[in-house]
Amino acid sequence: MRFHTSERAHPEHSGADRPTPPALRRRLPDVTEVLALIGDRAPRRSAVARRLERAQTVWDLREQAKRRTPRAPFDYADGAAEAEISLARARKAYRDLEFVPHVLRDVTEADTSVSLFGRTSSMPLGLAPTGFTRMMHTEGEYAGSAAAADAGIPFCLSTMGTASIEDVARHAPDGDNWFQLYLWKDREASEGLVRRAWEAGYRRLLVTVDTAVPGARLRDTRNGFSIPPQLKASTVADIALHPAWWLDFLTREPLSFASLSRTSGTVADLVGRMFDPSLSLEDLRWIKEMWPGTLIVKGVQSLDDAVRVCEAGADGLVLSSHGGRQLDRAPVPLELLPGVRRELGAEASIGIDTGVMDGADVVAAVAAGADYALVGRAYMYGLMAGGQAGVARMLEIMREQMQRTMRLIGVNSIGELGPEHVVLGRES
The amino acid sitting at 395 is: L
Neighbour-count burial of 312, counting CB atoms closer than 10 A to its CB (0-12 exposed, 13-18 middle, 19+ buried)? middle
Which residues are within 8 A (CB) of 55 and not within 5 positions of it... i.e. 6 or more apart? 61, 64, 385, 393, 397
Measured CA to CA in angstroms, residue 249 lies from 137, 254, 412 at distances of 8, 8, 45
Per-residue confidence (pLDDT) for residue 8, from 0 to 100? 54
The pTM of this model reads 0.88
| DSSP SS3 for 87 | helix
Name the percent of the chain in helix, strand, coil, to the closest 5. 50, 10, 40
- List the beta bridge partners of residue 294: 204
Spell out the per-residue pLDDT of the chain, length 428, in tens.
555 555 555 555 556 677 878 777 777 777 777 677 666 555 567 889 999 999 999 999 999 999 999 998 999 999 999 999 999 999 999 999 999 999 999 999 999 999 999 999 999 999 999 998 998 999 999 999 999 999 999 999 999 899 999 999 999 999 999 999 998 888 888 899 999 999 999 999 999 999 888 888 999 888 887 766 665 656 657 767 888 888 888 788 776 665 655 455 565 666 666 677 888 999 999 999 999 999 999 999 999 999 999 999 999 999 999 999 999 999 999 999 999 999 999 999 999 999 999 999 999 999 999 999 999 999 999 999 999 999 999 999 999 999 999 999 999 999 999 999 999 985 43
Q: Which residues pair with 120 in a beta bridge?
A: 115
Closest CA to 81 of 217, 214, 213, 210: 217
> Active-site residues: which are they?
322
What is residue 262's predicted lDDT score, i.e. its pLDDT? 46
Task: Give the strand pairing for 119-121 and 176-181.
Answer: unpaired
C-alpha–C-alpha distance, residues 413 and 404, integer Å: 12
- Grouping H, G, I as helix, E, B as strand and the rest as coil, residue 330 is coil
Q: What's the CA angle centered on 130, arms 127 and 132, to 5 degrees?
A: 140
**Bridge partners (DSSP) listed for residue 180:** 206
Q: Which amino acid is at 74?
A: F
CB-side neighbour CA atoms (13 Å) of 39? 3
pLDDT computed for residue 428 by the predictor: 36
Look at residues 95, 60, 68, 144 and name the one whose alpha carbon lies nearest to residue 374. Answer: 144
Indicate if the alpha-carbon torsion angle 138, 140, 145, 148 is positive or negative. Answer: positive
Element (H, E) at 180: strand 176-181
> Peptide bond preceding 19: is omega within 30 degrees of 0, i.e. cis?
no
In sequence order, which residues have a C-beta less than 8 Å from that of residue 93 and are 6 or more positions away? 332, 334, 335, 355, 424, 425
| CA atoms lying within 13 Å on the CB side of residue 314 | 29
* Cβ contact 76:135 at 8 Å: yes
Cβ neighbourhood burial of 146 (10 Å; 0-12, 13-18, 19+): buried
Q: What is the pLDDT of residue 427?
A: 43
Residue of 365, 415, 362 lying closest to 113 (CA atoms): 415
The predicted structure's pLDDT at residue 249: 80
